[in-house]
Every structure is written in structure tokens, then in C-alpha cells.
Structure 1
Amino acid sequence: MHDPLPLPFAATADSRPALLVSACLLGAPVRYDGTAKPLPEGTQASLAHQWQLIAVCPERLGGLPTPRPAAEILEGDGRSVLAGQAQVCDAQGGCHTAAFVQGAHLALALAQRCGARHALLKAHSPSCGSGRIHDGQFGGTLRPGDGVSTALLREAGITVFSEQDLQHGGLPGLAEAVPS
């Protein structure tokens, strides 16, 4: 298991508003397979110009190692997991629900501590997915739903977008949220 991902838990004097961002989108190799899925360099630079980017990996915060077996939400979505009605498991049958829930709560605590009202999280992830997640059959099929962390952040009033929203014309509402 690698050392936990260093995260900025202390608020700074930075005047830019905080934007919670999946660490893998910022280039940290924390995904289940030990890779990153970095945003294009120009995109990250543009976001960093307007926002204080706060890296978060809920799965690592929940204590899961990198690499780790791919996991999916079985028979539900993030809201179902938080309500105790669904589980997050890997294809080998290992259940990781408690780690996903703990990571979601720690991600929310980080967002609140930094004053983040918006989050840019990795599409389709069982933690960070927004709008569409894998269907729990480990075949690559997507279905409607949010990941565990996304569900908790939205429940707390934090607006969540994915990197796919960037590719499809930007982040509705984010431009308006930046103070002029």
C-alpha cells in the first residue's frame, strides 16, 4: 500500500474560490489501476487561474490502497449505499462499502473545511461518478446514478460536475460562481 495521498487540509489565504477536484484528474496516480486520468494541461491551467484546486481521492481517504481491484456499486447508486441499501464490491467478491462511505464523509469534511461549493470529479467512478456509473456487472455498461461521494456532496449542497462536462461546453454555473 502506498502512503496516503497528501492533501491540503488547511485553508490558505488564497482569494480564489475552492474547487474540489478528483486527484486523478490533477495527475495523481491514485485510480484503482495505479494510473491517473489528468485533465489536458491547458484545461488544468485555466481552472487553476480561477480556482484554488483542492485534490481529493475519496477511495484513498477511505483507506483503500493503490492499486486495488476495480469496484462497482451493486444494485443501486451512491444514495442507496449511503442509506445502507446497496454495497460497493469488486469482481472477486470483496466488499468495500465501509471504505467508500468513510472516504465520502472525509471528502465532504475537506470540502467544508476549504469552503468548496463546487466539485469536479471523475466520471463513472463508484465514488466520484455524476449522473452515470457502472452497472455493477463489471462489463463496462453504464447506468444512471451518482457515486457515493458525489451523492453525499450533493446532499450537502455542493454542485458536482465531471470532466465530461468540460468536454461538452464547460461547467454550467461555475463561471457565475467566480467572484469578479
Structure 2
Amino acid sequence: MTAKILVSACLLGRPVRYNGSAKTLAHPLLAQWLAEGRVVSTCPELAAGFSIPRPPAEIGEGETGDEVLSGTARVVDINGRDVTDLYITGAHSALALARANDCRFALLIDGSPSCGSGFIYDGNFAGKKHPGTGVTAALLRANGIEVFSDTEIEALAIQLA
């Protein structure tokens, strides 16, 4: 059986980001996996009920998705609204989708408070990044799904081989 891959909808060209844009990943490997029917698209934030557009959100105080899941950190939007519960809901939705489709791998957009797997923003809305994972990436990893960022597509291809 060919392994399925959970992929951030914004990487597939869907305008689902907070500002209504996409982060389309035009890569031959992704095109091949789409043609093979291996891609399962997700946007945890939309699954949680967020609208497009929506205020940008970040995990506060330089924390990560792991701390959000453990209850010691919060996700807050630029207006100060605590949106932690929605991010956790979206992460669980993505995990359920991955499990339903037997996805053992995920290719997610880096930087996002949901999907970031290498870096996220520090919670000050000043564009400053730090190493860490978003809520969805952290939950997927905690449940045995290998998560790759959009810049690690070749590494994912090696794991799939």
C-alpha cells in the first residue's frame, strides 16, 4: 500500500491562511504525490472554525505547541483574544483525519502556530521566529506521525522510499 501524506492546505494552493493567501509549494514531488492520490489535505484552523481572513495568532511568550498541549502556554491573536482551545480543536481534527486515512507522514507549512515544525513566531507579533512546533505539529508527532516542513520535502521523499 502506498503511504498517504497529510499536507497543509495552503501548500496545495488553497487560500486558507489568516490573511486569505496560500503558500503554494510548486514542487515535482508534491505534484507526483497528488497525481498518485497520496495527499490528504488539511487546514487545522479552518477545521476548528476560524474564518478567512482572521487575525494572526501566535503562541505566547516564546513557548511552543508542546506547552500549549500540556496546558502551560496559550495561543493569542493580535487583538489579545485567547484562541488556545480552537487551536487544540484543530490539532485533534488533523490527527483524526490522519488516522482515518492512515497517514504516517505530514508535510506542513513552517512558521504557523498550528503547522510549524521547525520554527514558529515568538508571540510578540514582531516577526521574530524561534525554534519550535505549532500545536498540530506537536500533537501529530506525539502520536507517532512524522512531521516535515515545506523545506524538508526531499527528506520526506527519502522516508517514503
> In which range does the TM-score fall when normalised by the shorter chain?
over 0.9
1:171 is aligned, of 150, 155, 158, to 155
Contact residue 132 and residue 145 of structure 1 kept, 8 A: yes
What is the total number of aligned residue pairs between the two structures? 160
2:44 is aligned, of 41, 58, 63, to 58
In the other structure, the counterpart of 2:23 is 37
Residue 115 (structure 1) aligned with residue 102 (structure 2): yes
Secondary structure in structure 2 of the residue aligned to 1:117? strand
The one-letter code sitting in structure 2 at the alignment partner of 1:71 is A
Please give the TM-score of this superposition, normalised by the length of structure 1.
0.84
Point out the structure with max Rg over C-alpha: 1
Residue 77 (structure 1) aligned with residue 61 (structure 2): no
Q: Percent identity?
A: 46
**d(CA) in 2 for partners of 1:113 and 1:47?**
18
**d(CA) in 2 for partners of 1:163 and 1:43?**
12
Listed as ranges, the gaps of 5+ residues in structure 1 are: 1-14
Q: 1:42 Cα shift? A: 3.1
Instruction: Tell me the C-alpha RMSD between the 2 structures.
Output: 1.5
Superposed CA offset, 1:131-168 (max 9, x none) = 211011111111111000000000001000011113xx
Structure 1 runs of 4+ aligned residues shifted over 3 Å read none
In the other structure, the counterpart of 1:131 is 118
Q: 1:65 Cα shift? A: 0.7
Superposed CA offset, 1:47-85 (max 9, x none) = 325561000000111111111000000021101001111
Superposed CA offset, 1:102-146 (max 9, x none) = 000010000001000000000110000002110111111111110
In the other structure, the counterpart of 1:6 is none
The one-letter code sitting in structure 1 at the alignment partner of 2:101 is C
